Amino acid sequence: MAAAGDLGWTIRRSAYFDSVALMRVAEQARQIPGVLEVTLVMGTPANRATLVASELWPVDAPATAPEDLLIAVRAKSDDALRLALASVEQRLDAPRPAARDDVAPRTIVGARRRAGVANLALIAVPGPYAAIDAHQALSAGLHVFLFSDGVSLADEVALKLRGRELGLIVMGPECGTSIVNGVGLGFANRVRRGSIGVVGASGTGIQEVTTLVHRLGGGISHAIGTGGRDLDAAVGGVTTLQGLGWLAEDDGTRVIVIVSKPSSRDVADRVLAAAARIGKPAVACLLGYDGQIPTGLEVVTTLEEAAIAAVRLTGAAPRGLDRPVITSSATSGSIVGLYTGGTLCEEARCLVGGRVHRFVDFGAEEYTRGRPHPIIDPSLRHTAIVDAAGDGRASVIVLDVILGDCAHPDPAGALAPVLVDARERARHAGRSLSVVAHVVGTDGDPQGLGVQENALRKVGAIVCASNRIAAQTARDIAEARHAG
């Protein structure tokens, strides 16, 4: 271990821990008075580079391997630094629960034997091992929800083609969200059951649509995540087309929604044509798509429009979502979009337009390889928020806050002091900084939609009911088009 001023760091060789466990250890250490930042990540080149850029890791530190654990702490004093490092070490060294006769099986095959009637495997292991486990699950006759990232494109294609041949579906890799028969997988939110089925090559895109459907009074039959690359030319929309087939045959699904990040034009054309042939009302939101729209299919440009159209197609009459009243005194400037959801980030980027603005998706693989997803551990984005406050060109920060069963237990509570710090730094520099946020979730989620929104409003954030509204509100503030 070495320490320099208010920075301390240490390396644990060949020490793999679950990302949720690392997030909890870091959060507990951050509660120590005087501690500014605690980061625990695996020793990949990308993670080291990120730590160095954030001044949380010395350039001349010893070499590390991807299976090594990097621990970095920044604190106001040496005492706080030592306490935080000791807290991390103590919690990592805490004994695991004693072995029991009913200890969990260590392989997919073993789990399949014990589970009996189960027909789906959820896989969340480091990328190099994920494809192996997914193939084992298929061999055991299980559908696959593949949360892991770091899976090669070739492995993804092989898994999905094999699954299709076996009559099984592979959701993923990098599949953040699905809802199957009312059971949420990954970051899914707690939404009411209903007659709207969703297929999405986007985790947070599915979350945005399903939670807005819930807010508008509708309900979800199933939401089938496919992984963000499913509509790439190399993959060919295998899982999306399977999902559409399943929803077509499901008696409980009356309306179908398709959601995707920017995709291959040819694959998107095939997917839309397949949806139009089903015979059920369908709406599609494929960001960036500009092709021919098949007859009988409604194509929209925002996730909010997709949710409203889907509820309307069930026969209901949903009311539009209100925009907030803006009283900010911010002057014109640029927008910094700091997102944990890739589709939300891309949608906001498209809506805002302009080259002067900057958008970052902290859920991208370059930021998640070897470290928890920012929906679980938002510390990397928190650092970026404070850094953005020092950008003299920025007048607005726009961001998402994602709720759900596997998300951070109190994301707004963790974010609030960071926003206070950022706005105070901007004020000391003689600037006004607005913060626009959209919370993706429902009051049924463990974190509570209302609780999270109120926590952000208390620190001066402008809270919007959809990502579309947040992006357009940020644009209006940056262009000084608001009243007040």
Encode pLDDT of 449-463 as tens digits.
999 999 999 999 999
| pLDDT given for residue 483 in this prediction | 39
CB-based contact 150:127 (threshold 8 Å):
yes
Is the Cβ–Cβ distance between 449 and 416 less than 8 Å?
A: no
For residue 421, what is the DSSP state?
H
**pLDDT reported for residue 484:** 39
Amino acid 99: pLDDT: 46
- 448: three-class secondary structure by DSSP: coil
pLDDT 10s digits, 394-445 = 999 999 999 999 899 999 999 999 999 999 999 998 888 999 999 999 999 9
Angle at 402 between CA 175 and CA 239, to 5 degrees: 20
**DSSP track, 67-97:** TSEEEEEEESSHHHHHHHHHHHHHHHHSPPP
pLDDT digits (tens, 9 = 90+) for 354-379: 889 999 999 988 888 777 889 998 98
Give the residue with greater pLDDT, 21 vs 243. 243
Is residue 66 within 8 Å of 42, Cβ to Cβ?
yes
Q: Closest Cα to residue 50, out of 345, 384, 415, 344?
A: 384
Q: What would the pLDDT profile of 11-33 be if each residue is shown by its tens digit?
A: 999 987 877 788 789 888 988 99
DSSP conformation class of 449 = H
The answer to whether residues 447 and 410 touch, using CB atoms and an 8 Å cutoff, is yes
**Residues 243, 169 contacting (CB under 8 angstroms):** yes
- H, E, C per residue of 383-397: HHHHHHHCCCCEEEE
**Per-residue pLDDT for 2 more than 60?**
no
pLDDT value of residue 443: 96
* Residue 168: C-alpha distances to residues 145, 258, 333 (Å): 11, 20, 50
SS3 content of the chain, % helix, strand, coil (to 5): 40, 20, 40
Nearest-5° Cα angle at 18, 14 to 20: 145
The answer to whether residue 96 scores a pLDDT higher than 70 is no
Of 20-34, 82-96, 283-297, minimum mean pLDDT range: 20-34
At 206-228, the pLDDT tens digits run: 999 999 999 999 999 999 999 99
Q: What is the mean pLDDT of residues 80-98?
A: 86
Predicted pLDDT of residue 97: 57
Q: 484 by DSSP, 3-state: which?
A: coil
CB atoms within 10 A of CB 18: 11
Strands, sheet with 143-146, edge to edge from the N-terminal-most edge strand:
120-123, 143-146, 170-171
Distance CA 417, CA 399 (A): 15
Give the tokens for residue 291. Answer: 């092709």
Confidence of residue 328 (pLDDT cuts 50, 70, 90): low
Strands 35-42 and 69-75: antiparallel
d(CA 365, CA 354): 25
In one letter, which amino acid is 259?
A: V
Q: Give the integer Cα–Cα distance in Å for 473 and 424.
A: 22
Kindly give the pairing relationship between strand 183-186 and strand 358-361: unpaired
Amino acid found at 337? G
Q: Which helix (H) or strand (E) holds 241?
A: helix 238-249
pLDDT the model gives residue 184: 96
Give 91: exposed, middle or buried? Use CB within 10 Å, 0-12, 13-18, 19+: middle
Look up the pTM and report it.
Answer: 0.86
Structure token pair of residue 375:
């929906």
Q: How far lies 400's CA from each of 65, 249, 299, 343, 475, in Å?
A: 32, 35, 24, 11, 15
Q: Please list, in sequence order, all residues whose beta carbon lies within 8 angstroms of the beta carbon of residue 389, skipping any fewer than 6 positions away.
A: 397, 421, 422, 423, 425, 426, 433
Q: Are 468 and 351 in contact (CB under 8 A)?
A: yes
